Amino acid sequence: MNTILFQLSGALATILLAFTVGMFYGGIRRKIIARIQNRVGPPIYQNFLDVIKLYSKDTSIHHGAMQHMGPVFAITASITSLMFIPVLNGDGWFWFKNLNFSGDLIFLVYMMVFGSLGMALGAGQTGNPNSAIGVTRGLSQMVGYEIPFVMSMVALMAQFHTTSITGLMNIQMQENTWLMFSNPFAFIAAVLAMLGMFHYSPFDIVHAPAEVASGPVSEFGGKYLGLMMSSGSIFAFVKLTLFVDVFMGGAANLIELVIKTFALYLIPVLYGVVSPRYRTEQAITYFWKWPLFFGILAILWASF
Amino acid sequence: MNSLILLLILVFGGALLSYLLNKFLPILRDGFVVLLMLLVNYVFFTMDSATQIEFEIGGIHLQWAFSSAAFLFGIIVSILGLLSITYSTAYMQGKDRLGYFYMNFLFSIGSMLGILMSRDLISLFFFWEIMTWSSYLIVIYSGKDVDKRGLKYIVFSAIGAYSMLMAIVIIYGFTGSFLLTDIFDSIFAIKASYQLAIAILLMIGFGVKSAMMPLHVWASGAYSGSPMSFTALFSGALSKMGVFGFSLVLFNLVSNQNWLINEIIAWLAAITAVLATFYAVIQSDAKKLLAYSSIAQLGYIVIGLASGTYLGVMAGLFLAVLHAVFKGTLFMAVGAVEKQAGTTDMTKVSGLIRKMPWTFTASLISIIALAGIPPLGGFVGKWMLYEALITSDHYYLVIMVFLSSTAAFLYSYRILFGLFLGQEEPEFAHVKEAPLPMLIPMLLLSGISVLSGTFPGFILEPIQNAMVSFGFDPRLPNIEWWQLSVLFNSWGDKVVLQNVMISITAVFLIALTLITWKGYKKQRYVTTKDISSSGEIIQAEDNMTFQIDFYKPFERAIWPLLKRKIDDYYTDFGNGLEALFDLVKRIYNGNGQFYAIYVMAFLALLLIAGTKYFGF
């Protein structure tokens, strides 16, 4: 009983941590974009206010069961992926152990697409053509960035003969190095893929405000949008933590984790803020040029 | 009576009886075929594993036996056979020539069981031909563009059959026996080049049925053109006979050192998987989409088998079983849509989710399994496949598989959106849920998809038994099937399926409860016309459907790959042959004067050559 309570409270703490960090990062991003565009911008806690507002609003319509469940799928995927990602390395803080030892990288890659597919189904039932267009764009783009991402992951797995994240982290602890230096090409390919993964400009074709009226989310308001925003924040944390764990040796404590994830987070944000949006096919083929090349190099590097 | 003979008599006799019943007592026909398949299942599952029978016909020694590999594939055939026959009774309601249909249906089930049980090449070939012909007769059942679809199927099947026959003749010439056990013992004694020739010829034979590139061109037409109740079996079970044949060749007829064959097959299968997936993405007919997706999925299965490692073969066979389960369901669901709404063209039909909720549920589950998303069965197969390829150093093959399965999300979404989601059109307002005989098989099969995601043991155990017969050491822990939930790769990394299931279910239920509980009473349903559209008010007659050119940007991105189809190469080959025949015709133009000139020219040539080289 004690252990179940212990695990549940650990899980809750992890979720809360991910939510808070993700929300603040979103707020900071808004601030950065505003400053670069020479505006004052909202305060960095603005996203919290937004979520609270959205949860407290009444939702009076729905388009059917699938739409109702779409955001639920999204948050299920975010939280489940979070449960399988080691937050801190070594014995760091045993409380955050969750289900770290029950899945590996391949599982995680699949778990991470679960949410977008569920969300896509929800958006589909609303019947809004903009939603469907956004979904087709998102899925097409996924085929683009998943390839270099998986190539860099395969390169790491091949190089160190383990497919588990904890295995990769232990190797970094033992050899006292970061994998971004052990296999630099894998890191480059993964970071380029990360640009697409975050759906920030220039890869913001899914939500594309001026084109498809915010795409898949256009029929979701109130509690649905609130749930989706929470899910998005948690998911951003999941992605960043995964990259830190795999490439930057994980983090020994929460402060180190925040510093490392924030440094990584700045890459898509700063790259996006100065880049105009791609067309959809450009956003797909972008990943099949240099990122793919670096992915192939990474695998070659790993196998020789 | 020997239960092997009983099984075959039941199916083949039942086939003829169902034809007669349709003639004289059509009212009993449906009940009869379902009862018959139930009986077949009973006999199949109670059969003693040591059952075998030997006899001689015309001096040729024949042997039928029941092996564990046969049992594995037999499970697919008998269960899917039963369910698709049950489905047929409602799906084929009101169509004519039902005697013809059921007879050929049962013939193909019987011939598949025959293939699995034959332990000699003659009966294998005999049943293989029955299977080809009975399925061909159903492919042309609808009578629509028979010369295109039917011809392609029968021509490719004939190519396969001839190369198989050639292989059988070569084998007999060297070993002097048709019995598989004799052949397996003596095959490695013959010259390596002949071994290779035998392997390639047999692969062509089996490759046609498992729709491997470049022998796949018949599949999309044949799968989408037959009645959907048969296609469920066609794609689910019949194509697995090719996989069964592959496993025979790869594990018994090719020595393990011959990695080149394995690599070539695996890469061919990977290219098949990628290209077929891309074709599936750009289809707008649900049947065609599923047909191409079947080709792609068979690619994964063959990759797994060809990888040759324990986990890879297990993944291949697991995906073979799972593919029968989820693709069977999907073809049935598309058939249900065709039956109820009248079309499967996704540019016409849309928004059926509220009319056919159970069909949608079954398709949703099967699509999740197909896409390999946890926690359903497809994920287990995909996971094993990836881990097997990575741990055996096939890094680029992994990328190919990954490209194909990521692109598979596109068509997975397309089929769900195209048929069930999207705008609800008034012209489909009358559509009703499919009748129970169609729903029950679909829901049962999707139940298997769900169960196998957390408790894959009940499929993995027969697979392991089959693999032991291929010469692998058993590696599964010796526990009951419901306790098996941790999968390992050969580096010792694992995935704990029950934890995955628990986590997903718990989070899903909590989030669903919270979101439903908040303001549940105040929420009301609005139609799909009641959507945000930048301030405009959408009228009932406004067309808000987005179905045409669904993946146009993606199509533009992959266009260089799709510019030329394999089909075109065959057409070119055909045109080339025609040109050759044209040339021949010009030489033999039927004019006596020309023939005289040819004779003169030949004599002159002979004279010159003779004086120069032979000196006369």
pLDDT in tens, A148-169: 999 999 998 888 888 888 888 8
Question: Are B386 and B408 members of one domain?
Answer: yes
Quick: pLDDT tens for B504-560: 898 899 988 888 887 777 888 887 777 777 777 777 777 778 888 888 888 888 887
Query: Of A66-80, A163-177, B233-247, where does mean pLDDT reach its minimum?
Result: A163-177
Report residue B492's pLDDT band, with 50, 70 and 90 as the boundaries.
Answer: confident
Nearest by CB to residue B534, choosing from A69, A213, A227, is A213
Phi/psi of residue B119, nearest 5 degrees = -110, 20
Q: What is the average per-residue pLDDT within B438-467?
A: 89
Question: Are B458 and B386 members of one domain?
Answer: yes
Question: What are the tokens at A48?
Answer: 């919290």
Q: Alpha-carbon distance B106 to B88, whole Å?
A: 12
* Alpha carbon distances (Å) from B109 to A193, B8, B211, B329, B439: 48, 10, 19, 18, 22
Q: What is the average per-residue pLDDT within B194-215?
A: 84
pLDDT number for residue A94: 63
Query: Of B27-36, B57-66, B586-595, where does mean pLDDT reach its minimum?
Result: B586-595
Quick: pLDDT tens for A225-256: 898 889 999 999 999 999 998 888 888 888 88
* Cα four-point dihedral sign B421, B328, B242, B147: negative
* Nearest partner of A63 among B529, B348, B355, B347, judged by Cα: B529
Question: Are B453 and B350 members of one domain?
Answer: yes
Q: Is residue B21 part of a domain?
A: no
CA–CA min distance A39, chain B (Å): 27
Nearest by CB to residue B409, choosing from A84, A139, A285, is A139
Cis peptide before B375 (omega within 30 of 0): yes
Look at residue B182 and tell me whether its pLDDT is greater than 90: no
Instruction: Return the half-sphere exposure (C-beta side, CA atoms, 13 A cut-off) of residue B9.
Output: 6
Number of folded domains that form chain B = 2
pLDDT number for residue A95: 65
Contacts of B116 by beta carbon, 8 Å cutoff, 6+ apart: B69, B70, B73, B74, B77, B241, B244
pLDDT number for residue B393: 84
Question: Are B494 and B364 members of one domain?
Answer: yes
Q: Alpha-carbon distance B510 to B520, whole Å?
A: 15
Nearest by CB to residue B491, choosing from A99, A135, A163, is A163
pLDDT number for residue B147: 74
Q: What is the average per-residue pLDDT within B266-272?
A: 88
Q: Is residue B122 part of a domain?
A: no
Cβ distance B321 to B240 under 8 Å?
no
More confident residue, A210 or B306: B306
- Judged by CB atoms closer than 8 Å, whether chains meet at A163 and B493 is answered as yes
- Judged by CB atoms closer than 8 Å, whether chains meet at B395 and A139 is answered as no
Question: What are the tokens at B83?
Answer: 């369910």
pLDDT, chain B, mean: 85
Range of the domain at B594: 564-614
Question: Are B555 and B593 members of one domain?
Answer: no
Residue B248, SS3? Answer: helix
Query: Of A80-84, A90-94, A119-123, where does mean pLDDT reach its minimum?
Result: A90-94
Look at residue B362 and tell me whether its pLDDT is greater than 90: yes
pLDDT number for residue B256: 59
Nearest by CB to residue B395, choosing from A65, A110, A154, is A154
- Judged by CB atoms closer than 8 Å, whether chains meet at A113 and B373 is answered as yes
Question: What are the tokens at B567?
Answer: 């089909």
Q: What is the average per-residue pLDDT within B69-90?
A: 90
pLDDT number for residue B64: 86
pLDDT number for residue B446: 92
Question: Are B442 and B550 members of one domain?
Answer: yes
Where helices occur in B420-456 by DSSP H, the ranges are 436-454
DSSP assignment of B381-410, as one string?
Answer: HHHHHHHHHHHTT-HHHHHHHHHHHHHHHH
Question: Are B323 and B429 members of one domain?
Answer: yes
Q: Is residue B548 part of a domain?
A: yes
Comparing alpha-carbon positions, the chain A residue that sits nearest to B522 is A60
Q: Is residue B71 part of a domain?
A: no
Q: What is the average per-residue pLDDT within B354-360?
A: 90
Question: Are B544 and B581 members of one domain?
Answer: no
Does residue A284 belong to the interface with chain B, where contact is any CB pair within 8 Å? Answer: yes
Q: What is the average per-residue pLDDT within B562-574?
A: 74
Q: Is residue B263 part of a domain?
A: no
Question: Are B579 and B517 members of one domain?
Answer: no
pLDDT number for residue B347: 86
The pTM for the full model equals 0.90
Look at residue B319 and tell me whether its pLDDT is greater than 80: yes
Q: Is residue B235 part of a domain?
A: no
Q: What is the average per-residue pLDDT within B220-234?
A: 87
Q: Is residue B298 part of a domain?
A: yes
Question: Are B408 and B466 members of one domain?
Answer: yes
Report residue A93's pLDDT band, with 50, 70 and 90 as the boundaries.
Answer: low
Question: Are B321 and B407 members of one domain?
Answer: yes
Q: Is residue B436 part of a domain?
A: yes
- Residues listed for chain B: 616
* Alpha carbon distances (Å) from B343 to B141, B232, B533: 18, 18, 29
More confident residue, B494 or B115: B115
The partner residues of B56 in beta bridges, in order of sequence, read B61
Q: What is the average per-residue pLDDT within A53-58?
A: 87
Comparing alpha-carbon positions, the chain A residue that sits nearest to B512 is A72
Look at residue B55 and tell me whether its pLDDT is greater than 70: yes
Contacts of A2 by beta carbon, 8 Å cutoff, 6+ apart: none
Look at residue B615 and tell me whether its pLDDT is greater than 60: no
Q: Does ipTM come in above 0.90? A: yes
pLDDT, chain A, mean: 86
Query: Of A275-284, B111-120, B121-130, B434-443, where does mean pLDDT reach its minimum?
Result: A275-284
Question: Are B297 and B335 members of one domain?
Answer: yes
